[in-house]
Amino acid sequence: MDTRRALLAALESGPVSGPALADEIGVSRTAVRRAVEGLREEGFAIEATDDGYVAPGDPAYCAAGIEFGLDAPYAVEYHGSLPSTNDRARALAADGDADVAVVADAQTGGRGRSDREWVAPSGGVWVSVLTSPSVPPARAPLFTLTAAVAVADACREVGVEATIKWPNDVLVERSDGGDGDERGDRPGFVDRPARGGRKLAGILTEMEGEADRVSWLVVGIGVNANLDPETLPAGATSLRTERGEDVDRRRFLARLLEAYAELAADPDAVLPAWRERTSTLGRRVRVETPGGTVVGTAVDVEQPGTLVVDTGEGRTRVHAGDCEHLRDADVR
């Protein structure tokens, strides 16, 4: 373990004496002092007291702040602004890195699926988790569903009743059954109505693989956290809007990463957990797929994340596509 990580770990259980830590991990006292300075520069405001170094009571949203107390196997890389955390994670993958969570306060070139724009101003939770799981590439879609479950749970823990829309959206359902677009059209943004709910979060999974094994997998997660609707596309919502107050992004992201890591390690648990949290199953849906439009009732989800739609003429299995929840009046 490097000095920075050893220091962060030691700070979890109370004050740390610099010389004692230096002896314990076998580095110089200067190395410990440098690690303290480095963490402070990152924004993790370590205090020096008579008992030794003490962690800040309310750590900032920064790499060390997120890593502090994190029970998930990722190093955190934090940026104030990036074009896209997915692009940064892909660059790390090309260098052979893995098990990194790339976080940015803002993204200037955030991406959705099919090169759509993802609006990502300062105040959201924008993160890409880079791993190298020992699974065949065909299993990759399951990680999107895994992330959706983790996002829904993290949102519910802060009091927002989020549900999952197949495959990659996390929504807040509207009680009045409206389509979430009453704030009017916004040129450039409104390419898909958020019918059946307001979009709180989206997931973009990218990977590279050989025939039998994924080389790298990047799961990009965007959650509209402390943002106002005016800064988001029509049909979107945020944790701030739903709760009426801000979330602690540091805690929220830590819970999200922990939930994701835990479920990713237990693939058999993903589909049952997903079924419990989705608003797609049992609904009339229209799915735009590469092979055409499928309309019917969504009846199940199967490995590795395939949606089963009952079209009235049989069951169709959809592997990828854009899904819209329909109201009965929409079904033609």
Which position's Cβ is nearest ligand BT5? 202
Nearer to ligand BT5, 3 or 238 (CB): 238
| Smaller CB separation from ligand BT5, 221 or 298 | 221
Question: Could you count the other beta carbons within 10 Å of the beta carbon of residue 115?
Answer: 6
Q: Provide, rounded to whole angstroms, the least separation between the CB of residue 39 and ligand BT5.
A: 25
Shorter beta-carbon distance to ligand BT5: residue 109 or 272: 109
Distance CA 223, CA 255 (A): 13
Q: Closer CB to ligand BT5, residue 98 or residue 269?
A: 98
- Residues 18 and 53: beta-carbon distance below 8 Å: yes
To the nearest whole angstrom, how small is the minimum distance from the Cβ of residue 182 to ligand BT5?
A: 16
What are the structure tokens assigned to 263, written together? Answer: 């479920």
Token pair for residue 209?
A: 């693989």
Q: How does DSSP classify residue 95?
A: T
Degrees to nearest 5, angle at CA 293 with 273 and 281: 20
Euclidean distance between CA atoms 307 and 321, whole angstroms: 10
d(CA 133, CA 144): 13
CB of 231 to ligand BT5, least distance (A): 9
Interacting residues toward ligand BT5 by CB under 6 A: 84-86, 107, 110-114, 116-120, 126-128, 168-169, 189, 191-192, 199, 202-204, 220-222, 224, 232-233, 236
Q: Could you tell me the smallest distance in angstroms from the CB atom of residue 186 to ligand BT5? A: 10
- 188 or 292: CB nearest ligand BT5: 188
Within 8 A by CB and 6+ apart from 98, the residues are 130, 131, 132, 216
Rounded least distance, CB 180 to ligand BT5, Å: 10
State in angstroms the smallest separation of the CB of 222 from ligand BT5: 3
* Phi, psi torsion values for 169, nearest 5 degrees: -110, 145
- What residues contact 41, with CB distance under 8 A and at least 6 apart? none
198/283 with CB nearer ligand BT5: 198
